[in-house]
Structures are given as structure tokens and as C-alpha cells.
Structure 1
Amino acid sequence: MRFIGVKEIKNIAVGAALLGAGGGGNAYVGTLMAISAVRKHGPIKLLDPDELADDAFCVCSSHIGAPAVSAEKFPNGNELITSFKKMQAVLGKHVDATFPIEIGGMNSMLPMVVAAKANIPLVDVDAMGRAFPEIQMSTFVLAGHPITPIVMADERGNTTLLDTIDAYWAEKLGRAITVKMGASAFMTSTPLTGLDLKRDGVKHSLSFCEQIGDLITNINKFASLAEGLEKLLTLTHGYQLLKAKVVDIQHTTKDGFNYGTVKLNGLDHDSGRVGTIDFQNENIIFKVDDQVRTTAPDLISLVDGDTLVPITNEELSYGKRVYVLGLPCDAKWRTPEGIKLVGPRYFKYNVDYVPLEELISMKGGI
């Protein structure tokens, strides 16, 4: 157990932007909310999942909707604690701790807001080890846990209680409500015990984000950017897939999601290569010269070509120079059940999932 404050929050935000694989919501907005809560209520107690009592009662706090909308439609600051308190009232239980549903952008920050305001611990665990676009894409769903009841809230003060027959219906109905709330809403969901978190979550993901963020924030301590990039890839067990310039972005918001394609022209040793990334909030498939190089559930992340600061899809702009990185997903997603839930065929791509490392080996390295 330790306490985290402003410095740790900033580092976690940077790491979460990388593991968000292009999505996860606007990290900047979430960071401001978390920092404001800590400055008002004091540091947050961060618990190792193994420190939780087996019978501890935990819920997660998160954002649902299109990330690009969340960058413009700012919350009023009360949505999270409103939905949290209503969840306690609905279940008639005191919540002992909270945790992030995913590691990515805003959704890594929002449980910190609730932890500070409700004076409860934050658990160093999440349900994805990255960010995914749909709420049933959870290691807890893989393990058979329900994610309902869900309490949703918007900035106007509206709240909605969802209690569905399964996680897929929670996604369908929750997404429809989100669209009516303006394509951006907040929710409390996934009631679990401490034993559930320890057994079925992705452990130490917040600490991992903090390590990544600390490295990137202090990139100038390395002799060169190339050395810093090498250290980052070593830490994340990742690969540099392309050095490129953004030359086109097609982007639309539909049914509560951001959809789009990013086109990249290779630079330096990658000159002459053409890369494309398709995304649904998060980056789903990456091709170079029409050859698949990475797909979900492995991570496809972009970092600034001069600073290595992660770039989310709503922050991309024409002419931006980037590195495309591929990072391996948590082992839970590489099971047959995990691939069925979040692999490329779920997203309507007619390709089979092949682990990042095998794709690179098959193509003779980068």
C-alpha cells in the first residue's frame, strides 16, 4: 500500500495514454479531474490487489462514449460521485474500494476521482490491461462475472439503472443511452469481491502505467531519443513497427463510437512504405503495404516522433511525425475465449489473430 498524489497521477496518465492504444478517452481531461480531487481531498491510497480482503466489495468508475466527444463535452464534476452513491444505495452495501475498468486515457483517471471524493482505496488492477471500445470486453466477463447493475449519469443530473441478462445487452442498452446523453456519459459498474479482482483482473496495471510515464517524462536523461525508445520497448516488451508521417485521417462519430482510418507514409529507413490503422475508439488493425502487422487484442499505439509522448486518435493531425509501436496484450486475451471476444473477426475483419511476436518473426523482423 502507498499513497499517490499529483506527480504519480501525471505519470500514470502518460502511461495510460500509451496502453490506451489510441483510445480510452481524453487523458488530459481525466488528469485534471483527478488532480483537482486530490488537491481538495488529499492523496489516494493505492492498494496492491493481494492486500484486499477476499470479501471486500469493489466497483469501478468509468466513462462510456466517443472519446472525441469527451474532449469537447466537459463533465460538470459530479457525475461520477452521483452514480457511485446511487450504486451504493441500489445494492445496500458500502463500497470498500474502486478500480479502473480499463487502462487507457480518461478511464484510468476517473476511479481516482471517486477514491479521493469517497475516501476509499484505489486498487492496482483493471479489467483489460489496455483499452477496448465495448464494455463487455473485460477479463471479468471472460471469467463469468456480471458487469451489472450499472448506474449511468450525465452532466445534466440524469441517472439510469441497468440490470441486463448479460454483458452484451449491457453494452447495447448502455450505448443507446449514452447516445441520448450526448455520446458521452459516466457510470459505476462491475460489482466484485476482492477475491474476484485478485483472481480475474489484470494486476499492477496502474503501477505499470506509472513506470512507463516516468520513463517518457524523463526521456531527456537518455543520451538520445533512440536510446529512450529502446528503453521504452524493453519495458513494454514492444516493437517499433513504423516510423512515419500522418498524411490522412478519416474520422466519424457513430452510435457512440469514434470510427476512422489513419494513413501514414514511412520515414527514414521506412521510406516508401505506406501504413494504415483502422480504429473503433481504439486501434484495431495495422497494415504496412496492405500486409497485416498487428491486430487487436495486441496493442497498436502511436508516440510522438520527437518526444515519445503517446498520441490518442483525437489528437492526431496531418503532418504529425510518429512511431507506430506494437505491444503484446495480457495473456488472458490470447485464449480462444479472449480472441473470440476481442480479436479481429469480432470487429468484422476477415483475418485470424496471430500474436504480434509471431507476425514479426514470420515477416523477418521489422
Structure 2
Amino acid sequence: MKTLDEREIQDLYTGSVFAACMIDPDWAREQADRLLALFTETDARPMLCEPAELDPEGLVVAVGFVSNGLPPAELRPVGDEFVRCLQLIERELGRPVVGVMPLAAAGVNAMVPPLVALQAGLPLVDADPMGRVFPLVSQTVFTVAGLPAGPVAAAGATGEAAVVQVEEPVRVDRVLRALAGVYGGWAATASYPMTGATLAAAGVQGSTTRLLRIGGILNADTSIREKYDALGRMDGMKLRVRARVSGVAWTASATQPGQTARPSSVTLVGEPNGRIVQLEIQDEVLLLMVDGVVRAAVPDIITILDARDGTPATLEDLWAGNTIDILVMTADAAWYSPAGMKLAGPTAFAALGVQQ
């Protein structure tokens, strides 16, 4: 097991913003700040472990926020919601939870598990269901493997909590989004309960370590060229494009249940070659085209960085005249299987016209 210190929490935050390319990182920052505040109150620190270090029959669950598909609510967590979810799962299954993992290895849900792990006195397991972030709870490698999402525990900031008995992952999104709406816009959840052995066989391995490494590179006191060289040496880094935003077209169209209807198209001009670069977005970047040719598409991880210093940018930085660096990383191999592509490849977002 590895102890995570203050610097590594900062690296994890940076890596989580990089991997998510989100609209607003405030909720992720808030989770990091809550965790660092706990560091001043206790000598305990989150422990990161591999699935193989757990009891093979021990119970592991994924923890993360689920929203009702709208922008983050002003109602903030009290702080005990996830611990209550763990208690509900333990009561439902009659077994103790021995470890927690991220619901998604990016964004706010990458920052939730170390906080929950410290609160509950459990290890953070270095694996997860996505290896990145997708808009639907059902878009996981566990779904690809035919594993159930439930039972799922959900809790809100005002005291309500529920255990959802659901086996089909596609149903989880509809039910949890409905609960999130009732709870005030979001729900803390514990889902995908499974043994350590199952997680070791079916999960995306090393996902938190990958975020720590990315964050460490980007937070290092080095030049932007050195940062990019280091990122380029990582497994899965496949493309970098520098371009200046020339136009943003915000549109709306029908989406899958639980997804926000906020797709958009961003046109950029490549520097220094003048090529036409286009990004298709719905809460995250789904497609990258250069001169009309698709260069990357989901499940690839497509993200953006500030071209001046290499810090992670957000979708709010896509304003006309701004120059950004677009980076592409491969996702877990399971996502490029026929079943993975059907669940989270371009055809899964065909309502946006995102196709190859």
C-alpha cells in the first residue's frame, strides 16, 4: 500500500481535471480542499492499494456523485453522505466494505474516493469502472463484462437515502438521476459492489496512479516543452495539436437519459500550419477532426491544456482567440472491443451527429 501525502493530493486533482476536460472544476477542487483540511485534523492519510492486496472475497464499491443531468447545484454536501452510502450497502449485503474505488477516474469523482477512504478508514483501490469519465453510470467496463451495477446506495445532503435494487446498468441512470433531482440536484452514490478478485479481473487497473503521474508532470517546476515530453513518454499518449479558437456554436439536441442537452461545436485554426480543427463537445470532448478527417473520437480521452504553461484547461477556456493545446490519450483496451465501442464509442453519441 502507498500513503498519499499533500503533494500527491494536489497532483491527483490536477490529473483529474486533465482527464475530465470539464466545464467547471470547482466541485473537484472542493473535494481536494476538504481532504487537505482533514490532514490538519488527523495524522491519518489515504492509503492507495492494488486490488490484489485486498482479500479476494472482500467487498469493494465505487463511490461518486451522480447529478440529475443539469449543471452542479448550489446545494453542497454536508460531508457524511458517502459514509452513509457505505453503511447502507453493508447492511443490504450483510458484509463489510474493505475498499473503495472511483466511479470515474477523472473529474470530481476521482477526488471523492480518497476523502471517503480517509473518513471510513478504508483503502483507496487503484482501479475503477471507466478509466476516464463518461456521462452515464452504465458506461463502464463492468457493464461490458456483464456485471451488475446494484444494489446501489444513494444519499443526499438533507438526510434522505435509499437503496436501489437494480441489476441492469441502463436502468441505474434513470433511477439515480430521478433521485438526484429529488435530493436537490445530485446524489452521493455507492455502486458496483464486487469482490476484490472480480475487480482485479474486470476493472481498469492503475487508474489513480495514472492520474497521479499526469498531475505530477503538469505540476512540476519545468518548462512546457519538458512537461509535454514527459507526457509523450507515457503509455497511451498519441496526439498533440495546437490551435486557436475561431468560433463556438452552442446548440442543443436530444440526448440519452441522464445526459445534458448541451452539445456544441468548436472550430479552431491550427498553429502554425493553418489547418481547420474541429471539436464536438457534450460536457466533454467527444470528437477531434483536422481538415475534416477524424483524428480521435470517444472512447479516446481528448483534453485541452493552456498553450502558455501547460496547465489543464476547461471547456470555459474555449473562447474565440484563445490558443490551446489539444492532447489525446487512449482509453482502456476494453473500450475498443466491439461491446465497448457499442456502449461508449461514437455510435453511442450518434444523437449528436458524432460518428466515424
| Both structures adopt the same fold (TM-score exceeding 0.5) | yes
Shift of residue 284, structure 1, vs aligned partner: 1.6
1:263 alignment partner, one of 258, 262, 266: 266
1:164 alignment partner, one of 157, 163, 166: 166
Number of residue pairs the alignment of both structures matches: 349
In structure 1, what is the equivalent of residue 299 of structure 2?
297
CA distance in structure 2 between the partners assigned to 1:234 and 1:276 by the alignment = 25
The one-letter amino acid paired with 2:191 is S
SS at match of 1:59: strand
Matches within 5 A, 1:323-362: 323-348=325-350
In structure 2, what is the equivalent of residue 240 of structure 1?
240
Question: Could you tell me whether the CA contact under 8 Å between 2:144 and 2:340 is conserved in 1?
Answer: yes
CA distance in structure 2 between the partners assigned to 1:67 and 1:113 by the alignment = 24
In structure 2, what is the equivalent of residue 142 of structure 1?
144
Confirm or deny that 1:35 pairs with 2:36. Answer: yes
The one-letter amino acid paired with 2:306 is D
The one-letter amino acid paired with 1:226 is R
Distance 1:261 1:9, change over 3 A: same
Question: Could you tell me whether the CA contact under 8 Å between 1:130 and 1:299 is conserved in 2?
Answer: yes
CA distance in structure 1 between the partners assigned to 2:246 and 2:38 by the alignment = 36
Matches within 5 A, 1:1-366: 1-22=1-22, 26-41=27-42, 42-65=44-67, 69-70=71-72, 72-218=74-220, 220-222=221-223, 225-235=224-234, 236-245=236-245, 247-248=247-248, 250=250, 256-258=258-260, 259-271=262-274, 273-279=276-282, 281-313=283-315, 316-348=318-350
Distance 1:227 1:46, change over 3 A: closer
Distance 1:256 1:146, change over 3 A: closer
Question: Could you tell me whether the CA contact under 8 Å between 1:184 and 1:256 is conserved in 2?
Answer: no
SS at match of 1:231: helix
The one-letter amino acid paired with 1:273 is I
CA distance in structure 2 between the partners assigned to 1:106 and 1:89 by the alignment = 27
Distance 1:62 1:308, change over 3 A: same
Shift of residue 54, structure 1, vs aligned partner: 0.8
Question: Could you tell me whether the CA contact under 8 Å between 2:68 and 2:177 is conserved in 1?
Answer: no
Answer with 266-275 or 84-93: which moved more: 266-275
SS at match of 1:276: strand
CA distance in structure 2 between the partners assigned to 1:269 and 1:342 by the alignment = 33
Distance 1:84 1:173, change over 3 A: same
Distance 1:297 1:180, change over 3 A: same
Distance 1:188 1:351, change over 3 A: closer
The one-letter amino acid paired with 2:228 is L
CA distance in structure 1 between the partners assigned to 2:66 and 2:342 by the alignment = 22
SS at match of 1:131: coil
Answer with 31-40 or 144-153: which moved more: 31-40
Shift of residue 228, structure 1, vs aligned partner: 2.3
SS at match of 1:137: coil
The one-letter amino acid paired with 2:280 is I
Shift of residue 130, structure 1, vs aligned partner: 0.7
Distance 1:126 1:173, change over 3 A: same
RMSD: 2.6
Question: Could you tell me whether the CA contact under 8 Å between 1:104 and 1:130 is conserved in 2?
Answer: yes
Identity of aligned residues (%): 25
Question: Could you tell me whether the CA contact under 8 Å between 1:24 and 1:103 is conserved in 2?
Answer: no
The one-letter amino acid paired with 1:230 is D
The one-letter amino acid paired with 1:152 is A
